[in-house]
Amino acid sequence: MGNSTPGQVKKQLNGITLLCLAFVICNSWAGIAGSLQLALLAGGPATLIYSILVTTTAYFAIAASMAELAAVYPTAGGQYHFASILAPERWRRGVSYTCGLLALFSWLVIGVSVTSIAAQQLLALVSTSLSDFVPRPWHVFFVYQGFALLAMLYNAFILKKNPWTHNLAFILTIALFLACFILLLVRGNPKESHEFVWNTFLNYTGWPDGVCFLIGLSTSCYMYNGLDGAMHMAEESSNPERVVPRTMMGAIGIGFTTGFAYTVAQVYAISDIQEIMTTTQ
């Protein structure tokens, strides 16, 4: 909006762009793909598949609660702003500060983990192509720093002027999901049995089975990392009291659909589960 007053944030995100942004941040099926090994070690196929149902139910409730608050208080502050309004007056500052600090640390951890996984996956791809190349920890560190620098430059100089890149990223990630899903179904031979996919529980953690299942939930929880991203963009979106809640619920719907479908296809296509659980790349 060219007539925006000084200090007013430009409304540059419509409903579609905000939905694309919210899903690309979570990128649920890719989150499953990047942390597959942990769930297989902590419960095997049964944990990997059924934990998605458990996690989605929990995050659906969380998203619905945040969506209701965002519809009433559509500000970029999100959780710390809600806490400052709803907490008892004597606890307001402490609770608000704590929520803001936890949100800050969670986004820092999300950024670190996603960048680290991308660095390891790139080097694993290189080592697959070059048989004599063995990734070292310092290789991962330098690639990680390169990705972090690229992300910083992109956010500082490109993203704000070109919000359509969210839409492009959404199209690319959905196209990649469809390609992987179809290839797993077509090329993944021989297929694992229904018994293996739906009823096999493996516990390599040393903990009791119940604790093992809870550990395995971390993979499915990774599907919805950054779910509150749309909420923090409320002041840059048009009609945020309606768009932000719909976006958060939409991210859950698309995330579950792609994540669950990819997971089932991936488990059916596993040819050697022991190799997956022992690989270090």
190 upstream amide cis, omega within 30 of 0: yes
Position 14 scores a pLDDT of 79
Position 154 scores a pLDDT of 87
Position 272 scores a pLDDT of 67
Position 1 scores a pLDDT of 40
Helix (H) or strand (E) holding 141, with range, is helix 137-153
Mean pLDDT by 10 residues, the chain (281 residues): 49 82 89 81 87 93 92 89 90 91 90 88 86 87 93 84 85 94 86 86 86 88 88 86 91 94 90 64 53
Cα separation of 67 and 43, whole Å? 32
Three-state DSSP class for 203? strand
Position 279 scores a pLDDT of 59
Collect all residues with Cβ–Cβ distance below 8 Å to 143 and sequence separation of at least 6. 119, 122, 123
The Cα-based distances of 74 to 99, 177, 186, 235 in angstroms read: 17, 32, 45, 7
Residues β-bridged to residue 13: 237
- Write down how long the chain is: 281
Q: Which residues of 235-268 are buried (b: 16+ CB within 10 A; e: fewer)?
A: ebbeebeebbbbbbbbbbebbbebbbbbbbbbbb
Helices and strands in the chain: count of H runs, count of E runs: 12, 2
Rg (CA), the chain: 21
